[in-house]
Chains A and B, each alone.
Chain A
Amino acid sequence: MATTDIHIQHDVHHHDDHSHDEHHEGNFWTTYIFSQDHKTIAKQFLITGIFWALVGGTLSVIFRLQLGFPDMNLEWLKPILGGWITPEGKLDPEFYLALVTMHGTIMVFFVLTAGLSGTFSNFLIPLQVGARDMASGFLNMLSYWFFFLSSMVMLVSFFLETGPAAGGWTVYPPLSALPQAIKGSGMGMTLWLVSMALFIVSSLLGSINYITTVINMRTHGMSFTRLPLTIWAFFFTAIIGVLSFPVLFSAALLLIFDRSFGTSFYLSDIFIGGEALPHTGGSPILFQHLFWFLGHPEVYIVLLPALGISSEIIATNSRKPIFGYKAMIGSMLFIAILSFIVWAHHMFVTGMNPFLGSIFMLLTLIIAVPSAVKIFNYVTTLWKGNIRFTPGMLFSIGLVSFFLTGGITGIFLGNSAIDIQLHDTYFVVAHFHLVMGSASFFGMLAGIYHWFPKMFGRMMNAKLGYLHFWCTFIGVYLVFFPMHYIGIAGFPRRYYSWTNFETFSGFADLNMLVSIAAIVTLSAQFIFLFNFFYSMFRGRLAPANPWNATTLEWTTPRNPQHGNWPGEIPSVYRWPYDYSKPGAKDDFIPQTIPYSETPESNLPHENELIKLETSNGHGAIIVEGKH
């Protein structure tokens, strides 16, 4: 036992558990592949996420070629895409839909759910709450391998004769239920469903672990009100996931029944391929309700971790406490709750009862309030700061900018009367790419730049980081901002080409601009990739606390081993945002410094807390009652 001190006496149950593993040497398989260490699992999620981001990005560039350069000869893609390129050198229209579907699925689930939550919840929760590892390392490992399996199944579906699923990432039946309706609804759709089922298992295993760890494994003194906002965000995200993913599972299950076992949950009165199908009594609208009951919370599953990450990074690099810590938690809580009761705003014109539309419009616009509060709090955090533009900080600022631009258009779409016209046009594509796609993507990149030193013990090159940021920031705006105009002009989404319609015959110029910008933006990501892998092996060695941050992860050694802290786990005495405190020597006070050591900067009520620290000799007894 490495930790034989008083500590154990008052907190045995969560302090001694892993310490004996510290010098445990695994072989290659247990260290890198079937690892149960949260840091390794986080890196596995990260690398897999980066892989999928590249795939998803490449798919979007291929279909952007079609939209931006409708006359281009794509013969040169034949070696990769084979029969999906028609003899005239065009993309097959059905394959276009498959590309869009796979792009959406991959980005939302594999990159921004698994890649983002999987990476940072795993990496940061134990390190920031002060735990040796996750509550269950084994389940955590399973979570990654279910994800891996799920992504392999999806990957296989690309190589099917009939192609991958092609009914949109929302896979609305009957299109997704009937192989007669589109080729992708054959085996491709089956694999999509299998893959998603595995993914849901992975996500649930992960979420349960995150929740348990946050509740049970916080170190001494780490009360809920001293948790960094990252942890709060991951915590809410996990709760949302646990409550909503099972609903997607049941939606998928019923779809499987309809597809394979002749049930009629979603199908009714269908005549296709020259025959009337026997199904009666089902409702396609039911699927939409079930899907969006996950689908909308999913938007926040994607977004909240990114907001948590940027809160942390913005506070650290402004050298200021995050403004309105409690309000930030409150608004996240409020968003988490509301996210469950706004789903039908995706269904205003599906034939759903219009009265429901009114209710959901009301609820949707309410959710805009806590979102606005978050933006104001970010801006106020910047006010009178002393801002250091690290690459992580740049990407966090980018996130706030996207969140603002994309959030604003949500006010249009949430208004059912306005949504009649905008629904399923490029206005929606612009909206969700900014507010959910790009904002979360930037949160992920910000997190990578910020925590890379802790992950790999080395620094990423800052100059390349700046270059990467500016190319991507401007690139993303050039890709998605023009889509607002195209959308206001009425252009429908998921269109292979618009030339059949006079109404949609304009904007060849804007569409070309968008496509060029997309190619440039994607290319700029290779700067990042180079920086990432190069720095992993040859970057400057990182100091233990490169950003002068206050949170616990920076008290670990440069390369934390299994168990995270070589000695005992540090205790926590203060909240995570004591930046630039008046009277303090440095512009930051780590969470591990007791108030008794900082009499010069303590606020009156903090002096009161000193007694509690000392009366106990050592560990801070938690005021909020954790025992």
Chain B
Amino acid sequence: MSLIIGLGVILVLIILYLIFRVSNLVTIAKGTKTDEERSDSSNSLNAALFIIFMVVSLGVFFWYSFEYFEDYTLPIASVHGAWTDTLFWITMGVTVVAFSIISIIMFVFIYQYRYKEGRKAKFYPDNHYLELAWTIIPAIVLAVLIFTGLRAWNDITAPASEQAEVIELVAQQFAWTARYPGVKDNKLGGYNFRLIDAVNEFGLDLTDKNTFDDFKSLELHIPKGKEVLLRIRAKDVLHSVYLPHFRVKMDAVPGMTTLFKFTATKTTQEMRDELGNPSFNYELACAEICGRGHFSMRMPVVVDEPEAYEQWKKGQEAWLKQNPDYLKKVPAALQEAAMIKSGMQKDPGATVAEIGK
């Protein structure tokens, strides 16, 4: 079968070659044209093709861009996402106007000034006013874009507020894990990469009492309308936290914690209603090449109403409670507190909760 296809291809190639040879010989037999004549005939064709190309391609570009707008734009679900998208579309407006004007002028010149026998090109080596103008105008336009961009960037990267909801995201080949500070102390406990093992995947340092109520989640839950600060780290290689609907992207770097703060504006349910798609889910993807499973490093993301979010947090079991074996790593003096904070033991009363402080 593949032999037949192969032979067929070879046959076609031979035929093409023969056609080429024959047409070549025919031109020679007809007498060699001078270069000028030759360029005269094909020249107009090429010039015309450029005009056709311009009209068709600009036409398709504008048609597709408007017609399929909904398909290639992602809905926005964060506060800063609205700013950056506005910047994006402002830049789009400015550049598409510039692009269209320059393209049209260029292709029209190409067509209009195609070779004509006897015409002489204009000797026009420079014009300083013109050059000055088209240096200064783009510079001004770019300056405006830069300054709007800078303001947004500074706001986005400014330190998070004290009240921000802190969540740790840990990347590894090829999965994401989230760690929440726990409702009792609302503080993330310490960790050390040397303490990581098959079970203690965060490398939790259980001598730190703040770890006791920390809990793990394979789904990223975030509250709507409250600032969230992601503390991002990686265990093995680079990864990148990418939350497309929230316009969030930040690399996960081994040996260095990175931060990104944002505020979600629509719960999962609201987004489902808005899109009319009851099975819609937010997702977290990896955006930095990290190996074989890079393309499958997905984490489901859920945005809850703040009350539902608090409810969800309360319902989660502390990591220590799920892995009671690790209680032996807790210093003797803190054992009791660990049992209480992790929820392994009923809290005898408010006073006991204070022991840890």
A residues near B (Cβ < 8 Å) are 76, 93-94, 97, 167-168, 172-175, 178, 181-182, 267-272, 274, 276, 280-285, 318-327, 349-351, 354, 357-358, 361-362, 365-366, 368-369, 372-373, 375-380, 382-390, 394, 397, 400-401, 404-405, 408-409, 411-412, 415-418, 420-421, 423-425, 461-464, 466, 470, 473-474, 477, 481, 485-486, 488-490, 492, 494-498, 500-504, 506-507, 530, 546, 577, 579-582, 587
Contacts and interface: CB of A to CB of B under 8 A. Distances in A.
B253 A580 contact: no
Given A269-B193, A404-B99, A494 B294 contact: yes
Contacts of A387: 43, 47, 110, 113-115
A418 B238 contact: no
A507 B73 CA distance: 12
A579 B124 CA distance: 10
19 contacts: A175-B291, A270-B237, A271-B172, A324-B131, A351-B251, A351-B258, A362-B146, A369-B142, A373-B138, A382-B110, A384-B124, A385-B122, A386-B119, A411-B91, A411-B95, A417-B87, A489-B74, A494-B294, A501-B285
B149 A415 contact: yes
A421 B244 contact: yes
A284 B95 CA distance: 35
**Which of A269, A270, A324, A489: most chain B Cβ within 10 A?**
A269
Given A270-B255, A415-B146, A474-B53, A503 B237 contact: no
A489 B196 contact: no
A382 B139 CA distance: 24
B152 interface: yes
B59 to A, nearest CB: 13
Contacts of A379: 102, 105-106, 109
B221 interface: no
Interface in B35-71: 35, 38-39, 42-43, 45-47, 49-50, 53, 57, 61, 64-65, 68, 71
Contacts of A94: 291-292
A178 B237 contact: yes
A376 B129 CA distance: 13
Contact of B280 (A365, A417, A502): A502
A386 B131 contact: no
A492 B287 contact: yes
Given A496-B294, A501-B283, A271 B193 contact: yes
B256 A351 contact: yes
A383 B291 contact: no
A477 B103 CA distance: 14
Interface residues of B, number: 112
B115 A424 contact: no
Given A349-B251, A351-B250, A358-B154, A411 B283 contact: no
B134 A580 contact: no
B254 interface: yes
A349 B249 contact: yes
A580 B122 contact: yes
Interface in B185-202: 193-194, 196, 198
Nearest to B149: A415
A486 B293 CA distance: 21
A425 B243 CA distance: 12
A367 to B, nearest CB: 10
B326 interface: no
Contacts of A327: 126, 131
Nearest to B44: A389
Contact of A388 (B43, B172, B203, B283): B43
A287 to B, nearest CB: 10
B322 interface: no
B176 to A, nearest CB: 13
A181 B42 contact: no
Interface of B: 2, 17, 20, 24, 35, 38-39, 42-43, 45-47, 49-50, 53, 57, 61, 64-65, 68, 71-74, 81, 83-85, 87-88, 91-92, 95, 98-99, 102-103, 105-106, 109-110, 113-116, 119-127, 130-131, 134-135, 138-139, 142, 145-146, 149-150, 152-154, 156-157, 172-173, 193-194, 196, 198, 203, 235-238, 240, 242, 244-245, 247-251, 253-256, 258, 279-281, 283, 285-296, 298
A414 to B, nearest CB: 9
A500 B126 contact: no
A167 B124 contact: no
A225 B289 CA distance: 47
Contact of B84 (A167, A420, A474): A420
Contacts of B43: 387-389
Contacts of A530: 17
A327 B74 CA distance: 42
A93 B291 CA distance: 9
A272 B134 CA distance: 54
Nearest to B36: A388
Contacts of A383: 109, 113, 122, 124
Contacts of B73: 488-489
Contacts of A587: 120-121
When A and B form their complex, which 6 residue pairs have the shortest distance between CB atoms, in order from nearest?
A268-B255, A354-B157, A351-B258, A384-B122, A389-B46, A490-B244
Given A320-B121, A324-B131, A421 B116 contact: no
Given A386-B116, A412-B88, A417-B149, A182 B124 contact: no
B298 A470 contact: no
Nearest to B251: A350
B236 A97 contact: no
B238 A175 contact: yes
Contact of A501 (B64, B152, B193, B298): B298
Contacts of B253: 284-285, 350-351
A15 B46 CA distance: 44
B295 A502 contact: no
Given A276-B194, A415-B87, 15 more contacts: A97-B289, A267-B255, A268-B255, A271-B235, A365-B142, A366-B142, A380-B124, A389-B114, A420-B249, A474-B53, A492-B242, A495-B294, A502-B281, A503-B245, A582-B123
Nearest to B109: A382
Contacts of A415: 87, 91, 145-146, 149
B161 to A, nearest CB: 16
A254 to B, nearest CB: 16
